[in-house]
């Protein structure tokens, strides 16, 4: 087969490895190098670095609006184009080029959580299950029929980063299964997504990471997990802005104003919420590194609850 791969972030790298396992990837498309780091130097994407290491040609058009970009893709004569977190919405003129169209690996059980941030939104919503879909792409946003899928449980303590890594590997497995069928001359059956149960996973915004203590502790704990490692939850804690890396909800009754420190000790810092309390276990001061609540309290002895 002749496979063209399109992807950009770390999430897509295991899928590229799966697609390239038999040296069938004839080219890789990825986003143009972007400024990153303190020096703001142009930095290649994780997918580009993997492609270069494998000796696969890399193309980085800003988009496919120009005919020359579409002609370059057509000249590769792809049987299928695999798209994983590429970062561009492909026009129909591109979707029509590969013989078997474009396949997308999406980190949710469609039609739930179409869109940009399905992993974080699933945790934030309290879902107990997610998964990966291999989808035949069409013009709509993640609306295409599903070719293959596999589910995955969401653990009570899973963070966005942990679930990201597990789904990334699962996506590679599902993609490998689909390509294996195609090699055998079997085109996976495309099943239309149900009309019911559609939800959208809107792109993450840093402003969402600011915890509102008037919210229930359960909801805040899910946000802390979902937004770890990015954009990382932050909150005002006894007059200081901190980032919260780890926290658990407590089902306790209180009459304190939201944001009040109820108890502080080696087990954590319990903060009053609109419902229940949030026990902060790992946090980060501005300009510092992530530390345990016990270490934080060594610097803020005034918060420690007397024995």
CA angle centred on 300, ends 297 and 303, rounded to 5° = 80
Whole-number Cα distances in Å, 93 to 27, 43, 96: 19, 30, 5
Judge whether 303 is annotated as a binding position: no
Judge whether 109 is annotated as a binding position: yes
What tokens does 227 get? 């937004």
What tokens does 303 get? 């918060």
SS3 300: coil
The helix (H) or strand (E) run that includes residue 84 is: strand 80-84
Residue that has been written with the tokens 């596999």 in this structure: 150
Judge whether 76 is annotated as a binding position: no
What tokens does 91 get? 């026009």
**Rounded distance, CA 186 to CA 89, Å?**
27
Q: Which residues contact 53 (CB under 8 A, 6 or more apart)?
A: none
Contact (Cβ atoms closer than 8 angstroms) between residue 208 and residue 124:
no
Judge whether 111 is annotated as a binding position: yes
> What region, left, alpha or beta, does residue 149 occupy, with left being phi > 0 and alpha being psi -120 to 50 degrees?
beta
Q: Which residues contact 195 (CB under 8 A, 6 or more apart)?
A: 111
Q: Which residues contact 119 (CB under 8 A, 6 or more apart)?
A: 107, 108, 130, 160, 163, 164, 167, 226
Which residues are part of a known binding site for (6S)-5,6,7,8-tetrahydrofolate?
108-111
Which residues are part of a known binding site?
108-111
């Amino acid at each position: 087969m002749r496979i063209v791969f399109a992807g950009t972030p770390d999430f897509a790298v295991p899928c590229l490895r799966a697609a390239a396992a038999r040296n069938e990837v004839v080219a890789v498309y990825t986003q143009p190098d972007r400024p990153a780091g303190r020096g703001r130097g142009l930095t290649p994407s994780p997918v580009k670095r993997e492609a270069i290491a494998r000796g696969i040609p890399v193309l980085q058009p800003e988009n496919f609006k120009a005919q020359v970009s579409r002609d370059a893709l057509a000249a590769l004569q792809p049987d299928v184009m695999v798209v994983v977190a590429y970062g561009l919405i492909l026009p129909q003129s591109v979707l029509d080029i590969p013989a078997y169209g474009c396949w997308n690996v999406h980190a949710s059980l469609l039609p739930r959580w179409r869109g940009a941030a399905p992993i974080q939104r699933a945790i934030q919503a309290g879902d107990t299950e997610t998964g990966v879909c291999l989808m035949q792409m069409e013009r709509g946003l993640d609306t295409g029929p599903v070719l293959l899928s596999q589910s995955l449980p969401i653990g009570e303590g899973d963070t966005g980063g942990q679930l990201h890594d597990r789904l990334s590997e699962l996506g590679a497995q599902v993609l490998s299964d689909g390509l294996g069928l195609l090699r055998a001359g079997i085109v996976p059956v495309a099943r239309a997504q149900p009309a019911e149960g559609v939800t959208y996973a809107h792109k993450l915004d840093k402003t969402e990471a600011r915890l509102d203590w008037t919210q229930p502790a359960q909801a805040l704990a899910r946000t802390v997990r979902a937004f770890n490692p990015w954009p990382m939850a932050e909150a005002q804690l006894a007059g200081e802005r901190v980032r919260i890396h780890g926290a658990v909800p407590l089902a306790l009754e209180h009459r304190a104003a939201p944001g009040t420190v109820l108890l502080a000790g080696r087990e954590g810092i319990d903060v009053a919420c609109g419902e229940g309390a949030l026990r902060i276990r790992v946090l980060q001061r501005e300009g510092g590194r992530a530390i345990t609540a016990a270490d934080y309290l060594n610097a803020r002895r005034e918060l420690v609850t007397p024995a």
